Structure 1
Amino acid sequence: MASADQHPGAHDVWLPIPPDEIEGLPDGLDYVHWDAGPDFPADPARCVFYAVPYMKDPATVLRPLPLMGRVRVVQTLTAGTEHMLPALPGLPAGARLCNARGLHDASTAELALTLTLAALRGIPGFVRGQDQGEWRPSVRPALADKSVLIVGYGSIGSAIEDRLTPFECARVARIARTARETVRGPVHPLSALSALLPDADVIVLATPLTEDTRGLVGRDFLARMKDGALLVNVARGAIVDTEALLVELTSGRLRAALDVTDPEPLPAAHPLWHAPGVLITPHVGGPSSAFPPRAKRLLRDQLTLFAAGEPVRHVVATAG
């Protein structure tokens, strides 16, 4: 698509949250509310800032973009932006795609710890026992003294380690795309993954879905995990080879706690539902009471920069 003009009449901002619920929005822009309903709230050609509806069907949220010839910013409310990348080639030159870095740190990290503790301490079995009125005492593994490996050490991975600190883990190792030093210790590159896997009792996936990470957790990855290790996925389902994981779960060698799956939603008849040693939640890492105030703050801050002509933050791609 050709470079967008700066038509003086194009000032529309599409928001998935009613604008009157967001305090401090800057003046000089026209705000409309659209949360992926069947009808557009205004002419898409007037939109200069599109805040993408959260947790909606990708085809639906992509639908207005071919008509947004003057859009300058496409702002997701998700940390991952893979669902928006198909629209990038059709955006006006210079339009920026921004993710929601920081928005889901607290909620997703909280769920990562919840899944880890619930799986280790056998909470699903106790709940089933409660449903049957059965007293089922047992000795279960604790998180204390375990070695934890966080794969994907961005803001969410760092927030997960924040919450691990009080649990007396023996060791926390960190993996990211590139090596670096932090106040907590080294972050190892992906190339070090193979060497770190055998020592981890718990592996938490918090990495973005990219071409490098799609299918990362396949047969070789799983085979290098120690017997009895727990895989926790709060990232994206496609990072894990589901069939390879099913083999390990069925054998009883590994356990898993999954907030995301591939496919997703997981079909009712899929064998993963009933595999031994698996705990599944329906992609609820982000949606919690922590989401609305942080989403509003992110949108307000980004729009304040945009209205002032300043660079917006969290740019992950620019249309060219």
Structure 2
Amino acid sequence: MSADVWLPIPADEIGGLPDGLEYAHWDGGSEFPADPADCVFYGVPYMRGAEVAVRPLPRMTRLQVVQTLTAGMDQMLPALPGLPPGVRLCNARGVHEASTAELALTLTLASLRDIPGFVRGQDAEEWRSGFYPALADKSVLIVGYGAIGSAIEDRLAPFECARVVRVARSARETAHGPVLPFSELPELLPDADVVLISTPLTDETRGLVGADFLARMRDGALLVNVARGAVVDTKALLAELDSGRLRAALDVTDPEPLPAGHPLWHAPGVLITPHVGGPTSAFLPRAKRLLREQLRRFAAGEELQHVVVTSG
């Protein structure tokens, strides 16, 4: 019986993979590349949606590892109870931090400086001069302080922010300074000029940025979401945007993709990008390195990296 590895990138494009395993490429197409029952290591197709990601799992009876190419695991966790015991679910830590942090900073600067307004002005041949907010001297609150949150702070360092405050599920110390627990958000939100959301989507964080959260943000503050759309209550955010009290820069939305005609498209003070934090030129080299190293460890019987949860 073969020990198959399903990869979202062709094996010959990754290179350097260990011998003794059978490699099959599946990018989420309607036909499976091999019998799912022989798969022991499943590399999940990237950006193909939850339905595709979980489709072969019920038939993968010998499965030992699920390796995503995403930082979040929210698409895969609902399938956990149906997996054989002992299956390790691994995320793509190290693949998306640089690109997502770049976009978080881009969205922040573009929104503060009203770059969308300048683009519209250029299209209309209008010279829209004047004073605009700077990131310098602003207070920034990072909500969700894992690898991406830390990478965002690294890129904020040269911009002379007044302060950067870190919040996560639980308190801890880091090289950048203390991370405060979610329970302190009510006291922290009124002091933040920019609130950056980079938390994973879990039962605890779904709808975290709701009406109460938004109401505590100071007038004129900017909400930047590079996490998952469902972390933010869209209806509550629309109410604040329509009032003109808050602004937002969103790489993710709920629903997603955002359908034509949705009021969020044309809400005042919002900048939207179509979930492009991860898919950049930096993705493929990092994804290949991750898969190569994980499979080396798997073949050698070594501990895998970035295990988020184990079934069973």
Q: Which residue of 2 aligns with 1:182?
A: 174
Is 1:113 paired with 2:105?
Answer: yes
Q: Which residue of 2 aligns with 1:274?
A: 266
Q: Which residue of 2 aligns with 1:6?
A: none
**Distance in 2 separating the partners of 1:98 and 1:10:** 23
Q: Is the 8 A contact 1:12 1:31 kept in 2?
A: yes
Select 1:243's aligned residue among 235, 243, 246. Answer: 235
Is 1:40 paired with 2:32?
Answer: yes
Give the CA deviation at 1:149: 0.3
Partner SS for 1:302: helix
Partner SS for 1:134: coil
Give the CA deviation at 1:29: 0.9
Give the CA deviation at 1:57: 2.1
Deviations 1:280-316 (A, max 9, x none): 0000000000100000011011111100011211111
How many pairs are equivalent? 312
Give the CA deviation at 1:182: 1.6
Is 1:165 paired with 2:129?
Answer: no
Instruction: Mark the runs of 5 or more structure 1 residues left unpaired by the alignment.
Output: 1-8
Q: Is the 8 A contact 1:16 1:54 kept in 2?
A: yes
Q: Which residue of 2 aligns with 1:5?
A: none
Over aligned residue pairs, what C-alpha RMSD do you find? Answer: 0.8
Q: Is the 8 A contact 1:10 1:48 kept in 2?
A: no
Partner SS for 1:265: coil
**Normalising by structure 1, what TM-score?**
0.96
Q: Is the 8 A contact 1:146 1:170 kept in 2?
A: yes
Q: Is the 8 A contact 2:136 2:162 kept in 1?
A: yes
Q: Which residue of 2 aligns with 1:21?
A: 13
Alignment of 1:1-320 (within 5 A): 9-320=1-312
Runs of 4+ in 1 over 2 A off after TM superposition: none
Q: Is the 8 A contact 2:53 2:75 kept in 1?
A: no
Aligned sequence identity (%)? 77
Deviations 1:72-114 (A, max 9, x none): 0001000111111222111111111111112100000000000
Give the CA deviation at 1:23: 2.3
Supply the AA of the counterpart residue of 1:72: Q
Instruction: Mark the runs of 5 or more structure 2 residues left unpaired by the alignment.
Output: none
Q: Which residue of 2 aligns with 1:4?
A: none
